[in-house]
Amino acid sequence: MLNKYARAFFTRVLTPFAAFLLRMGVSPDAVTLIGTAGVVAGALVFFPMGEFFWGTITITLFVFSDLVDGNMARQAGVSSRWGAFLDSTLDRVADAAIFGGLALWYAGSGNDNALCAVAIFCLASGQVVSYTKARGESIGLPVAVNGLIERAERLVITLVAAGLSGLETFGVPSWIGVLLPIALWVVAAGSLVTLIQRVVTVRRESAEADAAAAAAAGAPSEGGTP
């Protein structure tokens, strides 16, 4: 849901900035690479140290590159399969860095193996959720489902909670630190539900596509008669 409405809003807001970068001779691919590098650095430098506030600020500054690069490509008329592939691939890298950085914190100074496992589950389930859609589309299915928690929701929930939890270092009462564990559990549960939604959708769409193909070829559908 956030991906549907927030992306359209921020695309309009960032359009002038995208146009400025094009005038400066910056390519969309360069923005994609720099944005991913910034997210990875912010996540893997700050999060393992427990610096959640500054890590979130750094990641947020760079995460909008995911909207800017596509905007630039459309304005320049250079949208391509390669650009879409690169963007999607590096999104997975950025997501892995965010949840990997949190897992490193809980495995180390955070000293919480359960939350380390939850963060790893968030990392893995997010990758699989994305894969199910990509794989379904690659075999010709629309995968027409809006999952409960998709990439935008995963990032917003996790980063907002991490940033607020990081305020503890500025004197905010320590109870605020509980927001991040809650967020990780929510993202983990929501990702599992989303994965199930997509698998069920692909199963239904594939059965419908197979039945339609069989009918078009004059063959009996499963369980039917000639």
* CA–CA gap between residue 58 and residue 32 (Å, rounded): 16
167: tokens are 């305020």
The amino acid that residue 53 corresponds to is F
- State the DSSP code for 148: S
DSSP 217: T
User: Helix, strand, or coil here: 129?
Assistant: helix
**Cβ neighbours, 10 Å, residue 75:** 15
Residues forming the active site: 91
H helix intervals, 47-150: 52-63, 65-76, 81-107, 113-138
Q: Which residues contact 75 (CB under 8 A, 6 or more apart)?
A: 15, 18, 19, 22
* Burial class (CB within 10 angstroms; exposed 0-12, middle 13-18, buried 19+) of 191: buried
Q: How far is CA 226 from the centre of its chain?
A: 47
